[in-house]
Structure 1
């Protein structure tokens, strides 16, 4: 007892001593910090003036004088001083005048002192002037204006003189000249290099402007010169006079790019050298590349390491790169994407597949080892949204609507990538969208935080029912775990499973018990009534409760939305303490017009006999693959063990939930983890005012005026004047509003439309439009005035359905004579009302000039009211890539297309089928393929058209393509092909980036089979320009 008391007293004494030392040291530290701050805020040149000899706290002077000024007049200096003679001034005013003089940067130093005279005190400012530039002269600048040189150097008369800065200006001038193509420029500083100078004179010898005229290659047998040129950063001058400046710093990049280009197809020993060859007058240069290709490596074996969740046999199915083939990174990248897709479907978001080439002792032979880190299955917890900018107006639901994944879903990388592509392709945001997937450790998940009492440190503390219910809650939040097969880490139900116990005697949970618990236990409320009235900035499972959300089932998912009105308001930037943005935010570039040339094998850990290849990165680069939507092949997860994902490290945060559990042996496959998706975007310029023009052989010349707003909000009218000034009125809902006027000499079209792609926060789209259409046909003039209501839904990435109601007033006038009866009865105004439904299946790799996949559309339309007829139409297009270069470019594409349509005999003439023109039947004029009556085109009720087209690239960059085609089919009054037509021809497709993604089309077609009354046209074209 006495010992304990003595210990207690000693502890109290130690505590008092500790507090005294802390206070003393803390006060001393604070005093030192204050002194340091004062010293920092008042440098020596200023702090010394706080105590001026002869200065009182408040006094007057009879005069103020300047000493030491040589070039700056005293009157100019006095204008910077606020103290006036014979007026009271303070020490603070004196300090401010000192700062004012130093702030002019005219002086190296300024000192202050007082002198007593019989009349009173005189205040003296003694200055040490900086030298001033008296003049700046440039000699020999024949092709660059003096004003531009002054802007490059920052030198002008009256600026501070600095001989070091003058010397630096020489290299700056030379660098700017070289950027303009004057590679041999020389600049000499004739005056201004000595501290005593006050004039600066540059003498410039510009030399010739050097342009690259040719890029030639020697020793290339595998790749053609055109294929190699497209990888070079050095460009040739257009027509020998425009662009193509010579920049020698790009030559090492060109050499490396060519090496990587060869590495991608297995030429690992390639050697590349470049020599610039100048013309006698140095104005032209030829870049000559010498290439030693070496041996192309062949694959001896392919092995898989680290995979246990997915068996090797499943990974090997339908692989494109196989043993015995030449190495090629393009099919290997496709195989890696396929493997990652399999892991992604299981929720292994951070799984990685790193191909490692192991070079053998035999030259030209390589083994490929896929090193796999499977990670663990993960589920999405939160989807956080934040917008940058001064006045963000976009609702957070605009981002959520475009997500392909939802809280509680498996973290499927493919769906997350599609979500990111949707956001990037929506045009609502700037390209640098931050789309960060952040792992959440198990101890931070709701399962871990809510189950601390069930960690079974002893058999008596463990409650099996509570553990089962808690884990059921965890799996219930992961909505995809609703099937028995989704729990690979739990044992199967056996005949005596009810009697199974843990080593400590507790009953083991099984899959069926978990499923029963999930079906029977509701989700507990997790939002208080107060919190429900606040606008959440994240879409998460934690905000889901029966009192705060509505559930709408869409496409097999339960989409969750806050029911309070505030939840749909826009959100502002995240607070400064939001560490997720600072530590995990990474910019996503959506623009990928031409990806940089990178090696697809840079990230390999290659092993040579006797040495180890040190890779620069573990990332597997796929930026130059033709499919820009390919997933990123990730590096190894930072929290995963090396090699097998079942590597059992020391107990840590990753499995703290399961530490001490009597069933730990049943969890060898790692429990699931959580991820948060952080989206941070800057609102883009969604309003566009476009002017354009187009001309084609079917519609003639057509102008275009378009006002388009892609972030429109019909339900947000301005409530205050600030809403208009700050751009919030009618904006922020992700809807699209479009006003278009397209007058032309043959066709005029005026349209007003509004579309909500996610109507009422669902997967349904709603479109309302009104239009006026006028067309001068050869046999009559047609005016249409009407509206359309469309409803659609994207069922899957490939399947979509649409329905539309169309109401029109169609007026036919000025018919040709003689007028057939089928036309005469429609002269005047006609009211047309139809309803149309369609289903579409689209697997094309791209919508413009696709190379693989197909497009199919099946539609049914029924007219009612004044007209009563039915129509069935089907369209199908299939694309095959028959050949491509080893890098995937230069695709030879075969297209098979068919169009089939049937309509009732009661169909009015203005709704019948006509064919002809560049979009339907080349070799015939627009609407030139049709039944006729007395020479007047009357249309048909049945059409069947087909096309076979073969497209071949002409240039290495695929910007010019050659096509050979044949069109065939007919338009008939009955279901027959009695009047069969066919044509064959050749054409060009020219892609001009400045004119948009749609290529210019020029086709020459010659009818092979035709009818005497058909209108033929040999040449058809399409050209369009938009700005």
Structure 2
């Protein structure tokens, strides 16, 4: 048995070698040729195949070199390693020479951004063709240094700039790295931080040096709200909505001033007020630094404006239920202040009401319409009921390396029976029972939790009306069921 395993291992290694090297003499010759490029007869001159942009040039006698590639060499590279260049080439030893492949090689080399000019030369012999890639390198980054950084180490700033030794050195990359470092400092509370470029933008520069002036670390000492009605919205509620926080444990944890977060907080507060019916609410912010410059008071100035009331509530498109019966179920009514959360709950209630009667694809939308009268709006619920469905085929798909759970165990936990009208609330209830049964994985990092999917046959003739899909789909077993059908609309 040991010998067999050894043989298998060798075979796998051989397969890898075949994939990587092609198992040709090039595997043995490539290293020698790179160290000592094979010279062709002196009487055969080098012939250009492509100019600096890979366009074809006239060849000897107007003919393209023919034969097998005997050698591939690179000239002119200094900072860029030869292995990095060969990784982009498809022109290989012991393959038939193809000028189109060579031009594609040139294009790939240009895309690396490491070269400003590339020439390709060929040398023909009776035995075959030698190919030479002559490259002219872009200036490359040989070092990246930072001066003045005390709070963050060089390794952390390297991640922010994205610059690495060996990358093409360009004014754009260096300036972009400067901007990234400066933005990073300011997002961490160093709001007065500046970063300048000492080296890296001049043609003769071989590296990049940034000078960092960190400035003081500024923290938010207080957060205040001005202009809000305390009877409607208290400061504590508004503070729970924003991501900017004051420090805890005195000084060391959180509280750094981040202007981008303050902008997001302003938009979040504005959206909250408008969800309460203050559609013309405006919110501004103000920063007040203390004498040390290390602490700031953040003040949100709120202009609530007029709060909108609902003049009337209407329902359109309903046929299965009467308008009065639906309106009796709504929380928002005429004369109430508009509230986005309550409106969304009403939409969900209507969907559950229709879904409980088999209208699982009923489309229900709320449409607030503003009126010419100030502070007034009409609220219209638009309903597209769709078709009514009943439970048809129930298929169970069990996944895992060695699934041992019987399908009957799963079916017993479902309150869905073929032939009955589908109740979307029972679908969700059955799904909750499966998740709490501890039969399946509920950790999303290990796989998908149990789920019930409802699929009408009219969309997919092979689909199941209800499918239970536990996580880690590797093996599936088909369960039982009857053919599904759609109910006709009640007269």
Q: Normalization by structure 2: what TM-score? A: 0.66
- The 5-angstrom pairing of residues 472-491 of structure 1 reads none
> Partner of 2:241: helix, strand, or coil?
coil
- The one of 301, 318, 330 equivalent to 1:307 is 318
> Partner of 1:541: helix, strand, or coil?
coil
* 1:428 is aligned to 2:369: no
- The one of 217, 224, 239 equivalent to 1:229 is 239
- The 5-angstrom pairing of residues 784-823 of structure 1 reads none
Report the counterpart of residue 386 of structure 2 in structure 1: 375
Structure 2 CA distance for aligned equivalents of residues 228 and 412 of structure 1 = 39
- The 5-angstrom pairing of residues 302-701 of structure 1 reads 302-317=313-328, 319-382=330-393, 397=407, 403-422=414-433, 428-431=441-444, 437-441=454-458, 536-537=477-478, 540-542=481-483, 669=489
Structure 2 CA distance for aligned equivalents of residues 538 and 169 of structure 1 = 58
* 1:175 is aligned to 2:183: yes
- The one of 155, 161, 171 equivalent to 2:163 is 155
Residue 145 of structure 1: CA displacement? 0.8
**CA distance 1:66–1:335, change in 2 (3 Å):** closer
Gaps of 5+ in 1: 1-41, 82-88, 447-476, 479-533, 544-653, 658-666, 672-1027
Structure 2 CA distance for aligned equivalents of residues 151 and 294 of structure 1 = 46
Structure 2 CA distance for aligned equivalents of residues 230 and 140 of structure 1 = 37
**CA distance 1:114–1:323, change in 2 (3 Å):** closer
- The one of 292, 295, 298 equivalent to 1:287 is 298
**Structure 1 contact 341–414 (Cα < 8 Å) conserved:** yes
Residue 268 of structure 1: CA displacement? 3.3
Report the counterpart of residue 133 of structure 1 in structure 2: 141
Range with bigger deviation, 303-312 or 377-386? 377-386
* 1:262 is aligned to 2:262: no
- The one of 123, 128, 153 equivalent to 1:114 is 123
Q: Any idea what the Cα deviations from partners look like across 1:653-677, whole Å, max 9, x if unmatched? A: x9xx9xxxxxxxxx7x379xxxxxx
Residue 329 of structure 1: CA displacement? 4.6
**CA distance 1:383–1:138, change in 2 (3 Å):** farther
**Structure 1 contact 305–372 (Cα < 8 Å) conserved:** yes
Structure 2 CA distance for aligned equivalents of residues 376 and 344 of structure 1 = 11
Structure 1 CA distance for aligned equivalents of residues 379 and 85 of structure 2 = 76
**Structure 1 contact 110–125 (Cα < 8 Å) conserved:** yes
Residue 399 of structure 1: CA displacement? 6.5
Residue 171 of structure 1: CA displacement? 1.9
Residue 289 of structure 1: CA displacement? 1.2
> Partner of 2:390: helix, strand, or coil?
strand
Report the counterpart of residue 469 of structure 2 in structure 1: none
**CA distance 1:435–1:240, change in 2 (3 Å):** farther
Structure 2 CA distance for aligned equivalents of residues 181 and 385 of structure 1 = 54
> Partner of 1:167: helix, strand, or coil?
helix
Report the counterpart of residue 190 of structure 1 in structure 2: 198
What do you get for the CA RMSD once the two structures are aligned?
4.8
**CA distance 1:203–1:413, change in 2 (3 Å):** same
Q: Any idea what the Cα deviations from partners look like across 1:632-669, whole Å, max 9, x if unmatched? A: xxxxxxxxxxxxxxxxxxxxxx9xx9xxxxxxxxx7x3
Count how many residue pairs are aligned between Structure 1 and Structure 2.
406
Residue 537 of structure 1: CA displacement? 4.4
Q: Any idea what the Cα deviations from partners look like across 1:371-416, whole Å, max 9, x if unmatched? A: 3332221224455666899x58586948766544355443322222
> Partner of 1:127: helix, strand, or coil?
strand
Residue 290 of structure 1: CA displacement? 1.5
**Structure 1 contact 404–419 (Cα < 8 Å) conserved:** yes
> Partner of 2:176: helix, strand, or coil?
helix
> Partner of 1:246: helix, strand, or coil?
coil
Residue 338 of structure 1: CA displacement? 3.8
Residue 319 of structure 1: CA displacement? 4.8
Structure 2 CA distance for aligned equivalents of residues 335 and 77 of structure 1 = 67
**Structure 2 contact 70–130 (Cα < 8 Å) conserved:** no
Residue 204 of structure 1: CA displacement? 1.3
Structure 1 CA distance for aligned equivalents of residues 330 and 288 of structure 2 = 46
- The one of 250, 255, 263 equivalent to 1:244 is 255
Structure 2 CA distance for aligned equivalents of residues 388 and 208 of structure 1 = 56
Structure 2 CA distance for aligned equivalents of residues 386 and 44 of structure 1 = 59
> Partner of 2:185: helix, strand, or coil?
helix
Structure 2 CA distance for aligned equivalents of residues 377 and 169 of structure 1 = 59
Gaps of 5+ in 2: 1-49, 87-92, 466-474
**Structure 1 contact 163–195 (Cα < 8 Å) conserved:** no
Structure 2 CA distance for aligned equivalents of residues 300 and 105 of structure 1 = 64
Report the counterpart of residue 764 of structure 1 in structure 2: none
**Structure 1 contact 65–124 (Cα < 8 Å) conserved:** yes
**Structure 1 contact 212–236 (Cα < 8 Å) conserved:** yes
Report the counterpart of residue 203 of structure 1 in structure 2: 211
**CA distance 1:267–1:148, change in 2 (3 Å):** closer
Structure 1 CA distance for aligned equivalents of residues 133 and 316 of structure 2 = 80
Q: Normalization by structure 1: what TM-score? A: 0.34
Greater relative contact order structure (CA < 8 Å, 6+ sep): 2
Residue 150 of structure 1: CA displacement? 2.3
**Structure 1 contact 114–123 (Cα < 8 Å) conserved:** yes
**CA distance 1:90–1:296, change in 2 (3 Å):** closer
> Partner of 1:213: helix, strand, or coil?
strand
> Partner of 1:57: helix, strand, or coil?
coil
* 1:217 is aligned to 2:216: no
Structure 2 CA distance for aligned equivalents of residues 384 and 166 of structure 1 = 59
**CA distance 1:402–1:68, change in 2 (3 Å):** same
Q: Any idea what the Cα deviations from partners look like across 1:746-785, whole Å, max 9, x if unmatched? A: xxxxxxxxxxxxxxxxxxxxxxxxxxxxxxxxxxxxxxxx
Structure 2 CA distance for aligned equivalents of residues 147 and 156 of structure 1 = 11
**Structure 1 contact 266–297 (Cα < 8 Å) conserved:** yes
Report the counterpart of residue 8 of structure 2 in structure 1: none
Residue 218 of structure 1: CA displacement? 0.9
Structure 2 CA distance for aligned equivalents of residues 336 and 65 of structure 1 = 70
**Structure 1 contact 208–282 (Cα < 8 Å) conserved:** yes
> Partner of 1:287: helix, strand, or coil?
strand
**Structure 1 contact 298–364 (Cα < 8 Å) conserved:** yes
Q: Any idea what the Cα deviations from partners look like across 1:448-493, whole Å, max 9, x if unmatched? A: xxxxxxxxxxxxxxxxxxxxxxxxxxxxx99xxxxxxxxxxxxxxx
**Structure 1 contact 162–195 (Cα < 8 Å) conserved:** no
> Partner of 1:230: helix, strand, or coil?
helix
**Structure 1 contact 54–114 (Cα < 8 Å) conserved:** no
Structure 2 CA distance for aligned equivalents of residues 91 and 207 of structure 1 = 61
> Partner of 1:217: helix, strand, or coil?
strand
